[in-house]
Amino acid sequence: MQPFGTLPPTMLQTSDLNRELMAWVEETSELTKPDIIHWCTGSEAESERLNDLLTKDGTFIPLDPIRHPNSFYARSDVNDVARVEGRTFICSATEQDAGPSNNWMDPIQMREFMNGLFDGCMTGRVMYVIPYLMGPPGSSMAQVGVVITDSAYVVANMRIMTRIGSVALEEFPHKASFVKGMHSTGVLDPEQRYICHFPELGLIMSFSSNYGGNALLGKKCHALRLASAQARQEGWMAEHMLILGITSPDGVKTYVAGAFPSACGKTNLAMIVPPDVDQAKGWKVECIGDDIAWLSFGEDGRLWAINPEAGFFGVAPGTSMTTNPNAMLSCRANTIFTNVALRDDRTIWWEGMDGPPPESCTDWTGQPWTPGCGRPAAHPNSRFTAPARQCPAISPEWQNPEGVPISAIIFGGRRSTTVPLVSESLSWQHGTYVGATLTSENTAAAAGTVGQLRYDPMAMLPFCGYHMADYWQHWLNMGKHGGDQMPTIYHVNWFRKDEAGKLIWPGYRQNMRVLKWIVDRVRQRGDAVASPIGMLPTPQALEISGTDWPQETVKELLAVDREEWYKEVDRREEFFANFATNLPPELLRENEALRKRLQDEQLRF
User: Smallest distance, Å, CB 83 to ligand SAT?
Assistant: 5
Rounded Cα–Cα distance for residues 313 and 319 (Å):
13
Please give, one letter per residue, the 3-state secondary structure of 478-489.
Answer: HHHHHHHHCCEE
Rounded Cα–Cα distance for residues 500 and 109 (Å):
55
User: Which residue is closest to Mn ion by CB?
Assistant: 291
Q: Which residues are catalytic?
A: 264
Phi, psi of 115 (to 5 degrees): -60, -35
The residues in 67-86 that bind ligand SAT, with binding defined as CB under 6 A, are 83
Rounded Cα–Cα distance for residues 495 and 502 (Å):
9
Coil/strand/helix, residue 389: helix
291 or 456: CB nearest Mn ion:
291
220 or 343: CB nearest ligand SAT:
220
**232 contact partners, CB below 8 Å, separation of at least 6:** 466, 470, 471, 474
User: Smallest distance, Å, CB 338 to Mn ion?
Assistant: 16
169 or 315: CB nearest Mn ion:
315
41 or 206: CB nearest ligand SAT:
206
Contact call for residue 88 and ligand SAT (CB under 6 A): no
Contact call for residue 239 and Mn ion (CB under 5 A): no
User: Smallest distance, Å, CB 520 to Mn ion?
Assistant: 29
Choose which of 219, 225, 414, 521 interacts with ligand SAT (CB under 6 A).
Answer: 219
The residues in 473-492 that bind Mn ion, with binding defined as CB under 5 A, are none
Contact call for residue 220 and ligand SAT (CB under 6 A): yes
Q: Give the interface segment with ligand SAT, choosing from 120-128, 213-221, 450-458, 495-503 (CB under 6 A).
A: 213-221
| 280 to 196, 199, 270: CA distances (angstroms) | 50, 49, 20
37 DSSP β-pair partners:
127
Q: Give the interface segment with Mn ion, choosing from 267-275, 287-295, 304-312, 495-503 (CB under 5 A).
A: 287-295
The dihedral built from the CA positions of residue 511, 516, 517 and 522, taken in this order, carries a sign that is: positive
Q: Which does 219 bind (CB under 5 to 8 A by kind): ligand SAT, Mn ion, none?
A: ligand SAT
Rounded Cα–Cα distance for residues 286 and 293 (Å):
15
User: Smallest distance, Å, CB 291 to Mn ion?
Assistant: 4
| 502 to 45, 410, 505, 553, 577: CA distances (angstroms) | 52, 24, 9, 12, 34
- DSSP run (H or E) holding 534: strand 534-537
| 277 to 251, 283, 510: CA distances (angstroms) | 16, 9, 11
User: Smallest distance, Å, CB 317 to ligand SAT?
Assistant: 14
Q: In this structure, what DSSP letter does residue 358 have?
A: P
341 DSSP β-pair partners:
349
User: Smallest distance, Å, CB 222 to ligand SAT?
Assistant: 12
286 or 291: CB nearest Mn ion:
291
Q: Which does 590 bind (CB under 5 to 8 A by kind): ligand SAT, Mn ion, none?
A: none
Q: Which does 165 bind (CB under 5 to 8 A by kind): ligand SAT, Mn ion, none?
A: none
Rounded Cα–Cα distance for residues 469 and 584 (Å):
7
Q: What is the CA radius of gyration of the chain?
A: 24
Q: Where are the alpha helices (DSSP H) in 57-106?
A: 95-98
Choose which of 136, 212, 289, 457 interacts with ligand SAT (CB under 6 A).
Answer: 212
291 or 309: CB nearest Mn ion:
291
Site string for ligand SAT, 35-74 (x = CB under 6 A): ----------------------------------------
Choose which of 89, 313, 350, 455 interacts with ligand SAT (CB under 6 A).
Answer: 313
**300 contact partners, CB below 8 Å, separation of at least 6:** 405, 485
219 or 513: CB nearest ligand SAT:
219
User: Smallest distance, Å, CB 216 to Mn ion?
Assistant: 12
Choose which of 262, 323, 326, 531 interacts with ligand SAT (CB under 6 A).
Answer: 262
362 close to 350: Cβ distance less than 8 angstroms? no
User: Which residue is closest to ligand SAT by CB?
Assistant: 213
Q: Interior CA angle at 599 toward 596 and 602, to 5°?
A: 105
Q: Which does 314 bind (CB under 5 to 8 A by kind): ligand SAT, Mn ion, none?
A: none
Coil/strand/helix, residue 209: coil
97 or 291: CB nearest Mn ion:
291
Q: Which amino acid is at 483?
A: G
456 DSSP β-pair partners:
none
Site string for ligand SAT, 543-562 (x = CB under 6 A): --------------------
213 or 274: CB nearest ligand SAT:
213
Q: Which does 180 bind (CB under 5 to 8 A by kind): ligand SAT, Mn ion, none?
A: none
Q: Which amino acid is at 301?
A: G
- DSSP run (H or E) holding 305: strand 303-306
Choose which of 186, 213, 289, 487 interacts with ligand SAT (CB under 6 A).
Answer: 213
Rounded Cα–Cα distance for residues 555 and 420 (Å):
10
Question: What length does the chain have?
Answer: 605
User: Smallest distance, Å, CB 224 to ligand SAT?
Assistant: 9
Burial class of residue 116 (count of CB atoms within 10 Å of its CB; 0-12, 13-18, 19+): exposed
User: Smallest distance, Å, CB 243 to ligand SAT?
Assistant: 16
Choose which of 46, 80, 290, 291 interacts with Mn ion (CB under 5 A).
Answer: 291
462 or 526: CB nearest Mn ion:
462
Sites of contact with ligand SAT (CB under 6 A): 83, 212-213, 219-220, 262, 313
Query: Which residue ranges make up the site for Mn ion (CB under 5 A)?
Result: 291
